[in-house]
């Protein structure tokens, strides 16, 4: 690749976006949150009044759909056809239906094209499920980030609480497991560790330590 690429994949709530954002800011790379793109197209289906099961309807939306990122703190802002959807993409309804929408072939090929375009002019850190295996198979650094289900549910619980949402821990655990199952068992580019990815387990490890580990791996490749 002309510009440096870091691919971070892993199951839901393993800390990918937290880690990727810090690395991107430290290294002055562009951060691409591909999960936010799949979430945005799921919101597009909802706004169009389509059922999430309506594969043909959702496919027809794709050419009319624009997804943009704008800088913001603490989170990047996400715009769907010019309208801000930063919060809506994280709602429970969208979270529980995004795996179905992102299993559709037309959705995947459209998103993958958009994601590859984002690597043409800048070094990038991209996080998702299929970055190391499909989107950026030649990335110089590939990380597969994992953590125990209990720890991931606890992280999600804390995030929710900060936003004033209360979903009990058991429900969160079940939602995370269901999403991981769907993401790892779909037909097209399922969640899986690329053969040349380095697995980093974040269970019980501080954010700072994880960032340092990955930053060391990146500097070795530069
Ligand atoms: O990363 P995040 O949890 O926000 O992703 C939301 C969903 O989008 C995932 O559960 C998965 O269904 C889908 N996704 C995907 N491929 C990616 C990134 C996300 O299918 N590269």
CATH number at residue 21: 3.40.50.300
How do beta strands 67-70 and 30-33 pair? unpaired
Atom 19, ligand 1: which residue's CA is nearest? Answer: 35
Tell me if 5 sits within 8 A of 221, measured CB to CB. Answer: no
Pocket of ligand 1 (CB under 6 A): 12, 34-35, 38-39, 98-99, 102, 128-131, 179, 183
Is the predicted pLDDT of residue 74 greater than 90, yes or no? no
CA nearest to 115, candidates 95, 98, 141, 137: 137
Q: What range does the domain containing 18 cover?
A: 5-221
Atom 6, ligand 1: which residue's CA is nearest? Answer: 35
CA dist 55 and 57 (Å) reads: 6
pLDDT bracket for residue 166 (50, 70, 90): confident
Return the SS3 of 3.
coil
Q: What pLDDT is stored for residue 149 in this prediction?
A: 96
Expressed in angstroms and rounded, the spacing between residue 2 Cα and the centre of ligand 1 is 26
Q: What pLDDT is stored for residue 163 in this prediction?
A: 82
CA dist 11 and 163 (Å) reads: 22
DSSP for 158-202 reads HHHHHTT----HHHHHHHHHHHHHHHHH-SSS-S---TTPEEEE-
- Read off the pTM: 0.96
* Span of 27-41, 134-148, 157-171, 200-214 with lowest mean pLDDT: 157-171
Q: What pLDDT is stored for residue 75 in this prediction?
A: 85
pLDDT bracket for residue 2 (50, 70, 90): very high
Q: What pLDDT is stored for residue 150 in this prediction?
A: 96
Is the predicted pLDDT of residue 222 greater than 90, yes or no? no
CA dist 180 and 53 (Å) reads: 19
Total Cβ atoms within 10 A of residue 113:
10
CA nearest to 89, candidates 29, 50, 33: 33
Is the predicted pLDDT of residue 175 greater than 90, yes or no? yes
Q: What pLDDT is stored for residue 83 in this prediction?
A: 98
Q: What is the pLDDT of residues 4-52, one digit of tens each?
A: 999 999 999 999 999 999 999 999 999 999 999 999 999 999 999 999 9
Tally of structural domains, the chain: 1
Determine the residue of 11, 18, 32, 38 to mutate for testing ligand 1's pocket, defined as the one with the most ligand atoms within 8 A of the Cβ atom.
38
Q: Which residues contact 12 (CB under 8 A, 6 or more apart)?
A: 152, 176, 179, 180, 183
Ligand 1: nearest atom to the Cα of 179: 10
Mean pLDDT calculated for residue range 180-185? 96
Mean pLDDT calculated for residue range 164-178? 92
Tell me if 124 sits within 8 A of 3, measured CB to CB. Answer: yes
Average predicted confidence (pLDDT) for the chain = 96
Total Cβ atoms within 10 A of residue 183:
21
Binding residues for ATP: 10-18
* Burial of 50: CB neighbours in 10 Å, binned 0-12, 13-18, 19+: middle
């Amino acid at each position: 690749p002309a510009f440096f690429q870091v691919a971070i994949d892993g199951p839901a709530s393993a800390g990918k976006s937290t880690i990727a954002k810090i690395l991107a800011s430290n290294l002055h790379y562009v951060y691409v949150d591909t999960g936010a793109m799949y979430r945005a197209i799921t919101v597009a289906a909802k706004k169009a009044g389509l059922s999430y099961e309506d594969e043909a309807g959702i496919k027809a939306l794709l050419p009319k759909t624009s997804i943009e990122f704008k800088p913001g703190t603490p989170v990047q802002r996400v715009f769907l056809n010019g309208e801000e959807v930063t919060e809506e993409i994280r709602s429970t309804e969208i979270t529980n239906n995004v795996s179905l929408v992102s299993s559709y072939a037309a959705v995947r090929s459209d998103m993958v094209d958009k994601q590859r375009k984002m690597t043409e002019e800048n070094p990038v850190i991209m996080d998702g499920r299929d970055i190391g295996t499909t989107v950026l198979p030649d990335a110089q650094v590939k990380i597969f980030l994992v953590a125990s289900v209990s720890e991931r549910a606890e992280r999600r619980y804390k995030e929710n609480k900060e936003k004033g949402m209360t979903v009990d821990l058991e429900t969160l655990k079940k939602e995370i497991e269901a999403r991981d199952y769907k993401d790892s068992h779909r037909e097209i580019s399922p969640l899986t560790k690329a053969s040349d990815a380095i697995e980093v387990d974040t269970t019980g490890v501080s954010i700072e330590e994880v960032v340092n580990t990955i930053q060391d791996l990146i500097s070795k490749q530069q």
